[in-house]
Structure 1
Amino acid sequence: MMTMRHDNRRRMALRAALGLAAALAGQACMAQAYPSKPIKMVIPYTPGGSIDTVGRLVAEQLQKQLGQPIVIENHAGASGLIGSAAVQRAKADGYTLLFNASSQVYMPLVVAKPTYDAQKDFTPVAQIGYVPLVVAVNNDVPAKTLGELAQLAKTSPGKYTWATSGLGTTSHLSEEMVNRALKLDMEIIAYKGAVPQLTDVVGGHVSAAISPMPGVHPFVAGGRLRAIAVTSKNRVAQMPDVPTVAESGIPDFEVLSWYGIWGPAGMPADVVATLNREVARAVGTAGLKARFNDLSFVPTQSSPEEFRAMIRKDIESIGKAVKEANIKISF
């Protein structure tokens, strides 16, 4: 009898041990399983613009590494707010991501009624890199420099206008800052993305635009737009004869459009770490580096913590400029 009880205890102990081992193994598998299904990446602008171009390049490389499809969804409208809201409401499991530019953190600074807190309502995953913006004019505008455009605008008030890819974007803020620095009264006309913005400048419906390099460069290279300045501290290799805005009459001027990936607030730390690691691998591949170089896009690598700190610093500096320029927009 004692032997049977002893055997029963041993069997029960063995079952418990096997159950615990299975549970631990299951947890380990779950931790290693991400991603186990397609990932949706929301781009809050129209297809074909700078953000969409870079986002699709990154997604293409990431899906090769992760072994799962990354489905791009363009949710354009309200200067990116519609797409951002879709991600903000999504489940924080790593299967819905947002690919956006620096306007993601600028929008709450400029809208009259912010719809989200850029630091609390999203999880920063990885910064991708940054690009300069280009000041470009329609070929019929008789200005070869930013100084000449400013003189034309002052001589003929109301005749010359800016197109922006969206209110509150880096494009919009740059145009506001140039207007303020050069004491211009050029009206700013908003579009739903860089493609319609630049298309209307090409068509002569608007005089000029300040827009990120990846979207502008094909128009300039094809002779459809004329570049008169770049917003980076130094000239860009693809346009060595085009001066900087700082060289063109606004000392110390520098505005860059940086891109990154976010998820909803509360994403698991291990999922964020996996995505951050894979993004770093992606932007370091030779193929992606070559494509980025063609676009004058400078890739960067940073931890989620470094990305979060950069966002906080940028909000402080741009917030100061927005306050000084008294920029407030409503939708």
Structure 2
Amino acid sequence: MLRRHLLGGAAGTLLAAPALGQAGFPNRPVRMIVPYPPGGATDAMSRLAAQKIQERLGATVVVENRSGANGQVGTQAVLQAPADGYTILGSASIHVMARHVMRNVPYDPVADFVPLARTARGPLVMVMSPQRPQRTIPEIVEAAKREPARWTFATSSLGAAGHLGTIEFNRVTGANIEIVAYRGTAPALTDVAAGNAQLMFDPVLATLPMIRGGQLRGLGIATRARTSLAPDLPTMAEAGLPGFEFYSWYGVWAPRGVPAEIVARFNAALAEGMREPAVVERLTGLGFEPVAESVAEAEAFIRADVARNAELLRIANFQPE
């Protein structure tokens, strides 16, 4: 419900489009698989990307949420489909970290998939159950060290930006709060709001509405400067963690082997679509930044991002589960 209200225009699973008047790609519906449940930022950003694809390429796009095994079920379904451009993946930065955070992943997210485009990025926000009396990060760290059994960090999925941010938080504070992985953003945030988990890092899209509604307590945003969307929310540096910056980013992938000309068409459609003034305004109003780059630029960014996060996991002595 959240992502449909915020992003609009892509509320249904079936995104209608005019029929093509010529042969060639695409001449039948394109299926975008989102390997997580509805209700989170990944689903919302994937639906926005699907809308831009249908508008720019003139193809019907069917968005299918197929969750399970921390994203593996839907992702593998894309990989097993023919590499013809008619089955694509809508996911987030979590996708490229799969082999670093889970055992026996049956695919290589970097080698087996080609990024059609990165589309946007959004900063993480640290939130807490409003049932807890603590108001600052130092108070939370002190309480968690004193009574560790009373504190848990929820995360939407292993390898997500929020998971990596949580690992870094534990590392720099020495809190070592237990991390519990959920099947998506919505159930994780619901548990934090209910007090079943106490803390969480998640992108601004899902957290700010719940902070404003009093369901969550905002502790800090992982950006260099405060956001005009929530000027009273301090940066993590202001909250006591200098240099703490984390973003989740979103994109669309296809199985490696899709013809280069089809990859280029997807990339152009998404790069142009994310630069539309209305899209930029909409994303900016939600605290997101649109991304428009070539396939080569996306691949270079992903290589660097994976290397940085793999080193973070190594320093934290994280063991894949």
Deviations along 1:31-79, one digit per CA (max 9) or x if unpaired, are xx22111110111111010111111122123212222211111111222
For 2:174, the equivalent position in structure 1 comes to 183
Q: Which moved more, 1:68-77 or 1:303-312?
A: 68-77
Counterpart in 1 of 2:99? Answer: 108
Larger radius of gyration: 1
Residue 13 of structure 1 is matched in structure 2 by none
Residue identity opposite 1:174 in structure 2: G
**C-alpha contact (below 8 Å) 2:37/2:184 kept by paired residues:** yes
Is 1:39 the counterpart of 2:30? The answer is: yes
2:145 — aligned with what?
154
- 2:163 equivalent among 172, 180, 183: 172
Could you say which residue in structure 2 is the equivalent of 1:10?
Answer: none
Larger % of helix: which?
Answer: 1
Alignment of 1:48-63 (within 5 A): 48-63=39-54
Counterpart-to-counterpart distance in 2, 1:57 and 1:118: 22
1:187-206 equivalences in 2 (<5 Å) = 187-206=178-197
Q: Does the 8 Å CA contact 1:145/1:229 hold for their aligned counterparts? A: no
Deviations 1:296-320 (A, max 9, x none): 1100110000000101111111111
Spell out structure 1 runs of 4+ moving beyond 4 A.
Answer: none
- Matching of residues 16-35 of structure 1 within 5 Å: 33-35=24-26
| AA matched with 2:124 | L
1:137 partner amino acid: M
TM-score (norm 1): 0.87
- Paired AA for residue 48 in structure 2: L
Q: Distance in 1 between matches of 2:141 and 2:186?
A: 25
Question: For 1:86, what is the secondary structure of its paired residue?
Answer: helix
TM-score (ref. length: structure 2): 0.89
Match of 1:9 in 2: none
Deviation at 1:172, TM superposition (A): 1.4
Q: Distance in 1 between matches of 2:281 and 2:268?
A: 20
Single out whichever of 285-294 and 213-222 deviates more from structure 2.
285-294
* Superposed CA offset, 1:257-312 (max 9, x none): 11111000111110011111110121122332232123211001100000001011
Maintained 8 Å contact 1:45/1:77 = yes
SS of equivalent to 1:132: strand
User: For residues 113-262 of structure 1, what are the structure 2 equivalents within 5 Å?
Assistant: 113-262=104-253
**Alignment partner, residue 328 of structure 1:** 319
The partner residue of 1:68 within 59, 81, 92 is: 59
The residue aligned with 2:89 is: 98
Q: Secondary structure at the match of 1:116?
A: coil
* Structure 1 unaligned regions, length at least 5: 1-28
Contact (CA 8 Å) 1:77, 1:83: kept in 2 or not?
yes
Map 1:293-308; keep pairs closer than 5 Å: 293-308=284-299
Task: Give the CA RMSD over aligned residues.
Answer: 1.5
Deviations 1:185-226 (A, max 9, x none): 321111100000001111111111111111112211212111
Tell me which of 305, 316, 320 is aligned to 1:314: 305
Q: Percent identity?
A: 38
